[in-house]
Amino acid sequence: MSIVIRVKGANFSNSGLPKLIPTIAGFTTENLKGLFLFEEGTVDQAHSGQFVDSSGLGNHGTLRGNWLQPTKKAFGMQGGAGGIAINTGIAAGQKLTVVLGVKFNEPDPASNVYPLIFGPSAQMPASIAAAATLGSNKMFINAQFIPSSNANDMDWGVYKSGGPITGDATTRKTISGSAGHANSSCLIGFTYDATATFLLAKHAGGEFRTSAAALAFDPADTLAFGLLNAASGHNVAAGVELYLAAIYSDSSEALLDAAMAAARARITGRGVTLL
């Protein structure tokens, strides 16, 4: 962790001089609420206990419902049948930025099952093969299976249950350039500002953005993430990979880009090739 030296009364913001910015594992610590590197544990052994929050705030993740503990790997965590589901206890607040490194492993996906990687804990499925609570007017990040075009074609998108994402009637917006990528190792980034009604979701291949986003969360909603089912009766296939998750209580494109760059550097350093 870096050290910040403060000089009382001094302001060098417009001086052009370099600034010391505190970081943890390459992530700026300002407004960082949770940093899950998944570097704890013994390789090829089942994970046990909490998932370590490296932010220093103690917001350690806990296994959700009846999901099985994943297996620790050099790249992070690998989930068994049903995937991985983790509760954080971190509130969404008015501003939120999230970066996730993930990979599904769906060999022959069914249509319109929309497996999830992020959302409010109370609306996520309570157990393997249960359904998400979709009448709740809340935001999720998910994948969509598109077998009509290719049996393994999946894209990434943001989905808002119970109402449209923007002023039109659409409840799901695809992140451009992401078709066919959800079964690959990738980074997904999401930033949201309730006051500014700004929402931006990014992937290496493109983005979705709007400055007219509908309300996505209650500020008190606590957050969950992983790789898990959304539709009743759908079990996410074993072999999913979870590399990293970072959660900030602030929102800007600059913050999102910096967090995604830090995540990419950390994950590729483990030998993972990301899109």
pTM strictly above 0.85: yes
The whole-number pLDDT of residue 18 equals 64
DSSP label of 122 = G
The pLDDT of residue 211 is: 94
- What are the average pLDDT values for consecutive 10-residue runs of the chain, which has 275 residues? 54 61 95 98 96 98 96 98 96 97 79 82 91 83 62 75 82 82 90 96 91 92 94 86 98 98 98 96
- Burial (0-12, 13-18, 19+ Cβ within 10 Å), 195: exposed
Q: Which of 17, 34, 13 is nearest to 25 (CA)?
A: 34
What's the full length of the chain, in residues? 275
Closest CA to 192 of 171, 167, 212, 176: 212
Reduced to 3 states (helix: H, G, I; strand: E, B; else coil), residue 256 is: helix
Question: What is residue 151's predicted lDDT score, i.e. its pLDDT?
Answer: 46
Within 10 Å of residue 257's Cβ, how many Cβ atoms?
15
2 HSE (CA, 13 A, CB side): 14
- Side-chain-side CA neighbours of residue 224 (13 Å): 22
The conformational region for residue 26 under phi > 0 = left, psi -120 to 50 = alpha, else beta, is left
Res 9: pLDDT: 46
pLDDT tens string 200-253: 999 988 899 999 998 899 999 999 999 998 888 778 889 999 999 999 999 999
pLDDT of residue 136: 75
Is 153:146 a contact under the CB 8 Å cutoff? yes
Q: What is the CATH number of domain 27-270?
A: 2.60.120.200
* pLDDT at residue 145, rounded to an integer: 57
Q: Which residues contact 197 (CB under 8 A, 6 or more apart)?
A: 210, 211, 212, 213, 214
Q: Would you say 246 and 27 are in contact if contact means Cβ atoms under 8 Å apart?
A: yes
- Non-local (6+) Cβ contacts of 254 within 8 A are none
b/e sequence 14-37, b meaning 16+ C-beta within 10 Å: eeeeeeeeeebbbbbbeebbbbbb
Give me the residue label for tokens 């393997």.
128
| Whole-angstrom distance, CA of residue 259 vs CA of residue 24 | 11
C-alpha–C-alpha distance, residues 220 and 95, integer Å: 12
Q: Which runs of consecutive H residues, i.e. helices, occur in 22-147?
A: none
Residue 248 CA, chain-centre distance (Å), reads 11
Which residues, 6+ apart, have CB-to-CB distance to 6 below 8 Å?
none
Residue 8 CA to its chain's centroid (Å): 38
